[in-house]
C-alpha cells in the first residue's frame, strides 16, 4: 500500500511539473483583481452560450475569465478569432500556462516503523586539563579620543510636486495599464511620459502661467486630455492623497470596434513587408474560421505609423512570409499607402496559401491616416497594425 501511494505521489508531481512547463492554452476574455468582477463577466459570457469559467493566475494575482481550455494550440487560436469576430469580446487573447493551483500532499501511512530508541553511550574519562600559567597584566596604552559621529544629513526632498495619475476602466472600475504624457502648454512639442497608477514627481514648468496639458494613452481605450495649473490643480477628477500628492482619477472608455478584429500578435518587422514569426498563430486561426464559414468575406485594413515616404524591405523573390532573407528580399522606396497595400497583400497571400478562397479577401490600404496613438508618442509603433473587417455573407 505504501509503495502504491508513493507511486501515485510521484505520478502527480510529474504531471504537475509537466503542466507548469508546457501549460494549457486558455482563450481569455478578461482579467480582474476583484473577484466579483470575474464572477460578473463569467455570468455575462454564459448568457451568450459560452462555456465560461474563471481561475486565479497566482503569479499575477489576477482572476482570468476564460471560454476555452485546450492543449491544442491551433484550436485555441481558431477559437480566439471566432470569439473576436462573433462576440463583444474584441480584446480576448490566448494565455499559455497554468491557472489555479494544484497542491500535492504527502500521504500519511500507519505502517511506518517506529524510530529506534537512542542507547546511552559510555563516557570515556578525559585527562585533567593543565593549569593555566598566570601572565602579568600587559601595559595598556591610553585610548585615543574618538571623534563623535557626525549627524546624518537630512534626506533630500525630491524636486517638484508629487502626482498620481490613475487610469480606470469606466465600466468595470478596474485599473488600466497605460501612459500619461505631460506637455507644457497646448503648442508644446516636447513631453514627459509617466506610467499610470504610480506616484511621480513633476518639476515646476518653465512657462510663466504654469499650465500643463495631460494626455492619456492606453491600448484599447479612447484618449483623454485635460489642462490644469501646476501650482493649484483644480480638476474635478482630482483630490489630495494621504501623502499630500495630487491624485487624478481618469475614467477611460473602450474603443468601439464594431465588426473589426484587431490582432494582438500580427506584426511586421520594422519598415518591412515581412511578418514576424509569432504572427502565424492568429493568421492560422483566421484561416480556420474562413474555411469553416465559406460565406464569410473579409476586408484587410493595413495601417502604418506616419504618412511619409520610406525605404521598405519587401519579400522580393522570397517565399517565406515570416523571415528576413537579405539574399532574396528587395529594398524599394514606397509611399505610406503603397507600403500598407503591400503589407495587406502579404497577409492575403498567406491566408490563400492556407486554403482560404482569394475572392473572399479584399484589401484597404489606409497608409498613416488613421493612427490610434500620436505619431511621436512612445506607443507610436502600434500604429503599424492589421485590422480585419468581417462581412458575414449568406
**What domains, with CATH codes, occur in the chain?**
2-97 (3.30.70.1070), 161-252 (2.60.40), 260-392 (3.30.1330.60)
Task: Report yes or no on whether pTM surpasses 0.75.
Answer: no
Which residue is listed with cell 469576430? 85
* Long-range CB pairs of 320-324, under 8 A, 24+ apart, other chains included: 321/274, 321/275, 321/346, 321/349, 321/350, 322/274, 322/275, 322/276, 322/277, 322/279, 322/280, 323/274, 323/277, 324/269, 324/272, 324/274
- Nearest to 365, CA basis, from 332, 381, 387: 387
Residue of higher predicted confidence among 139 and 84 = 84
Residue of higher predicted confidence among 170 and 186 = 170
| Cβ–Cβ < 8 Å for 340, 366 | yes
Instruction: Judge whether residue 197 has pLDDT over 50.
Output: yes
- The overall average pLDDT reported for the chain is 79
* Predicted pLDDT at 109: 40
pLDDT tier, 299 (very low <50, low <70, confident <90, very high otherwise): very high
Among 48-62, 93-107, 161-175, 197-211, the range scoring the smallest mean pLDDT is 93-107
Instruction: Judge whether residue 320 has pLDDT over 50.
Output: yes
| Cβ–Cβ < 8 Å for 110, 1 | no
Q: Distance between CA 40 and CA 179 in Å, rounded?
A: 28
Average pLDDT on 294-315 reads: 93
Among 6-15, 59-68, 170-179, 302-311, the range scoring the smallest mean pLDDT is 6-15
Average pLDDT on 147-169 reads: 75
pLDDT tens-digit readout, 341-387: 999 999 999 999 999 999 999 999 999 988 877 777 666 788 899 99
**Any idea of the CA torsion for 356, 357, 359, 361, to the nearest 10 degrees?**
-10
pLDDT tens-digit readout, 67-120: 999 999 989 999 999 898 888 888 899 998 888 753 333 334 444 444 344 344
Q: Distance between CA 152 and CA 139 in Å, rounded?
A: 37
| Cβ–Cβ < 8 Å for 62, 28 | no
Share of the chain above pLDDT 70, in %: 74
Instruction: Judge whether residue 330 has pLDDT over 70.
Output: yes
**Count of C-beta atoms within a 10 Å radius of residue 16:** 15
Instruction: Judge whether residue 279 has pLDDT over 50.
Output: yes
Amino acid at each position: 500500500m505504501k509503495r502504491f501511494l508513493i507511486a501515485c505521489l510521484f505520478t502527480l508531481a510529474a504531471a504537475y511539473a509537466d503542466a507548469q512547463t508546457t501549460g494549457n492554452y486558455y482563450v481569455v476574455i478578461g482579467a480582474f483583481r476583484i473577484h466579483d468582477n470575474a464572477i460578473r463577466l463569467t455570468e455575462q459570457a454564459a448568457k451568450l452560450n459560452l462555456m465560461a469559467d474563471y481561475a486565479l493566475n497566482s503569479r499575477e494575482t489576477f482572476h482570468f475569465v476564460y471560454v476555452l481550455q485546450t492543449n491544442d494550440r491551433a484550436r485555441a487560436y481558431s477559437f480566439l478569432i471566432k470569439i473576436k469576430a462573433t462576440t463583444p469580446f474584441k480584446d480576448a487573447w490566448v494565455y499559455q500556462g497554468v491557472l489555479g493551483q494544484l497542491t500535492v500532499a504527502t500521504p500519511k501511512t500507519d505502517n511506518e516503523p517506529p524510530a529506534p530508541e537512542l542507547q546511552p553511550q559510555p563516557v570515556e574519562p578525559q585527562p585533567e586539563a593543565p593549569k593555566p600559567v598566570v601572565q602579568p597584566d600587559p601595559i595598556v596604552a591610553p585610548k585615543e579620543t574618538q571623534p563623535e559621529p557626525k549627524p546624518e544629513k537630512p534626506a533630500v526632498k525630491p524636486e517638484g510636486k508629487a502626482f498620481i495619475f490613475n487610469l480606470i476602466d469606466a465600466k468595470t472600475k478596474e485599473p488600466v495599464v497605460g501612459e500619461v504624457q505631460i506637455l507644457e502648454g497646448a503648442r508644446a512639442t516636447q513631453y514627459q511620459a509617466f506610467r499610470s497608477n504610480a506616484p511621480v514627481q513633476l518639476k515646476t514648468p518653465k512657462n510663466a502661467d504654469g499650465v500643463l496639458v495631460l494626455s492619456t494613452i492606453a491600448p484599447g481605450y479612447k484618449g483623454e486630455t485635460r489642462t490644469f495649473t501646476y501650482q493649484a490643480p483644480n480638476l474635478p477628477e482630482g483630490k489630495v492623497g494621504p501623502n499630500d500628492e495630487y491624485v487624478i482619477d481618469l475614467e477611460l472608455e473602450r474603443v468601439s470596434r464594431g465588426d473589426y478584429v484587431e490582432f494582438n500578435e500580427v506584426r511586421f518587422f520594422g519598415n518591412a513587408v515581412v511578418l514576424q514569426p509569432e504572427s502565424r498563430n492568429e493568421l492560422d486561426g483566421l484561416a480556420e474560421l474562413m474555411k469553416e464559414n465559406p460565406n464569410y468575406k473579409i476586408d484587410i485594413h493595413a495601417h502604418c505609423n506616419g504618412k511619409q515616404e520610406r525605404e521598405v524591405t519587401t519579400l522580393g523573390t522570397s517565399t517565406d512570409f515570416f523571415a528576413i532573407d537579405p539574399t532574396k528580399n528587395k529594398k524599394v522606396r514606397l509611399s505610406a499607402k503603397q507600403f500598407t497595400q503591400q503589407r495587406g497583400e502579404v497577409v492575403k497571400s498567406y491566408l490563400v496559401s492556407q486554403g482560404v478562397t482569394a475572392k473572399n479577401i479584399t484589401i484597404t490600404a489606409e497608409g498613416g491616416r488613421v493612427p490610434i496613438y500620436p505619431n511621436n508618442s512612445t506607443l507610436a509603433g502600434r500604429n503599424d497594425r492589421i485590422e480585419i473587417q468581417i462581412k458575414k455573407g449568406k
